[in-house]
Amino acid sequence: MSLRNSPITALRLLEGPQTLGKGPGFWGGFAVILALACLYPLFADGYDVGNNVYFFNWTFMALGLSLIWGYGGALSFGQTAFFGVAGYAYGVLTINLGDAYGLTFMSLIAAVGLSALFAGILGYFLFFGRISGVFLGIVTLSVTLVLERFMSQTAGPEWAIGSARLNGFNGMGSMPSLTIPWPGGDIVLFPDVALYYVTLALLVVVYLALRILVNSRFGNVLVAIRENPQRAEMLGYDIRRYQLGAFVIGSGLAGLSGVLYTAWGNYITPSSMGMSAAALPVVWVAVGGRSDLTTTLLGTLLVLGGFQYLTIYGSQYALVVMGFLLVVTILVAPSGIFITAGALFSKGLRRRLKRESA
């Protein structure tokens, strides 16, 4: 394929067989939603804008889990481990290096790279060791809980990396926010309009890039592995390499969530890697529809909004409702609420058209 045709091929891959939504109607709706999202800060107060940044931060982890689980068929409970590794790495780097000259963005890249490296090492032993199914979920959850327990006991003064104190279960704080070098003074991306637009732009880029990826040869093979790994292997594909690649990319996106969350709140605690935190991304992805990026994104934002509402007005019920929602989804709509609703709507429409034609 020539370089001249590469942009055309990328545009075609945005509407491939592995993603829902195509044609002028879909992309017109996408453009309208994006325009409304861009205009939103002009009509909302600072608190609401910052709160939406919080929602956006988690969507990267959800999209990564959709790639690993929904497209690759490997359920990972370890996404919050990579979230925490990247968040703590960002805190350590920025506290020691400072926030001048764009060093916070260099720290972001380094922290995401570290989480991807950790995922690559762990994933190598998992996939090349032929660990799959429920055992993959058990191992990744175990790694998450071990990291959470380890970070919780780092409260003493000896637990420091340079000037950065880990602070045990109290968590690490006082790390700088993201900053953009600018003539006359750096722009500090507090949880306000500037950070909102940066995070929204990242989300759009990641979403479109993942659509291209899953509709490429890599994504097609990944789905084939999900459907029948033995058949994919008999056709000559090294399924371990594809599963490892998806695991590294998805975990790197979880690391991006961790960095953005840490920069947003200027803190991170071991509880972000605990049992409850590890289970929530599975709920987000399952409810919307794990096998499609768009339904994953919509489901995540919807469930996050409901979870925050419950946390504010009935915190004792929030996790119970999330668990109940997961059980109902698995029993009633195992493909996800949005995907199931879309399938039922299409089926009803076909029946109606058939009756009218008769």
Over residues 267-306, the pLDDT tens digits come to 999 999 988 889 889 999 999 889 999 999 999 999 998 8
Q: Decide if 8 is inside a domain.
A: no
| 203 & 352 share domain | no
| 329 & 196 share domain | no
Domain final position from 243, 273, 303: 273
Residue 9: band (very low, low, confident or very high) from pLDDT cuts 50, 70, 90: low
344-352 contacts: CB < 8 A, separation 24 or more?
Answer: none
Q: Decide if 89 is inside a domain.
A: yes
Domain final position from 273, 307, 338: 273
Tell me which of 87 and 341 has the higher pLDDT: 87
8: Cβ–Cβ under 8 A, 6 or more apart, which residues? none
Q: Is 157 helix (H, G, I), strand (E, B) or coil?
A: coil
pLDDT of res. 358:
61
160 has which bridge partners?
165
Residue 187 has pLDDT above 90, yes or no: no
- In the numeric block, the tokens 């982890």 are attached to 61
Write out pLDDT tens, residues 213-255: 999 999 999 999 999 999 999 999 999 999 999 999 999 999 9
Query: Two tokens at 162?
Result: 């340079």
pLDDT of res. 12:
80
Residue 2: band (very low, low, confident or very high) from pLDDT cuts 50, 70, 90: very low
143, 147, 151, 144: which is closest to 169 by C-alpha? 151
pLDDT of res. 182:
73
Domain extent for 93: 46-273
| Three-state DSSP string of 161-208 | ECCEECCHHHCEECCCCCEECCCCCCEECCCCHHHHHHHHHHHHHHHH
pLDDT of res. 6:
60
| 143 & 289 share domain | no
What percent of the chain shows pLDDT beyond 70?
94
Q: Please tell me the total count of domains within the chain.
A: 2
pLDDT of res. 189:
72
| 209 & 87 share domain | yes
Domain final position from 225, 249, 273: 273
Query: What does the alpha-carbon distance between residue 179 and residue 144 come to, in Å, rounded to a whole number?
Result: 30
Confidence (pTM)? 0.92
Specify whether the CB–CB gap between 77 and 133 falls below 8 A.
no
- In the numeric block, the tokens 């919307």 are attached to 288
Residue 157 has pLDDT above 70, yes or no: yes
| 295 & 196 share domain | no
Residue 3: band (very low, low, confident or very high) from pLDDT cuts 50, 70, 90: very low
Specify whether the CB–CB gap between 179 and 187 falls below 8 A.
yes
User: DSSP state, 129?
Assistant: T
